[in-house]
Amino acid sequence: MALFSGDIGVVKMANGFLFIATALLLYHLFNTIGDSAHLAFIAALFTLANGHMLRSSTIIMSEIPFLFFSLLTLLLFIRVGDATDLKSACKTPIPTYI
């Protein structure tokens, strides 16, 4: 059972989309941690220009989804650490039993 599609092109496009989303998450993470938006932009740009990352985003492997979800988790942990409660950290309605 395929998650997206059985077509290899669709899976490669999803992997490329996650690579671009990873660069955006990296920019947002560095902008949250540091004070310089220019440094965050340069770090995201270097990630987009990295040959190993480009190669991993064009083949069907798990490095890019792993990096995307790892950065997403790290950003969520930073938001939870800065917020007073979990609801304001996620900025989405969360059930009260959490």
Which token pair is 10? 């669709």
**What proportion of the chain, given as a percentage, has pLDDT over 70?**
78
Mean pLDDT, residues 5-12: 79
Dihedral of alpha carbons 7, 10, 14, 16, sign: positive
**Does residue 90 register a pLDDT over 70?**
no
The rounded radius of gyration (Å) of the Cα atoms in the chain is 16
pLDDT for the residue numbered 60: 78
pTM of the model: 0.73
Per-residue pLDDT, 98: 38
- Residues 68-96 have a mean pLDDT of 69
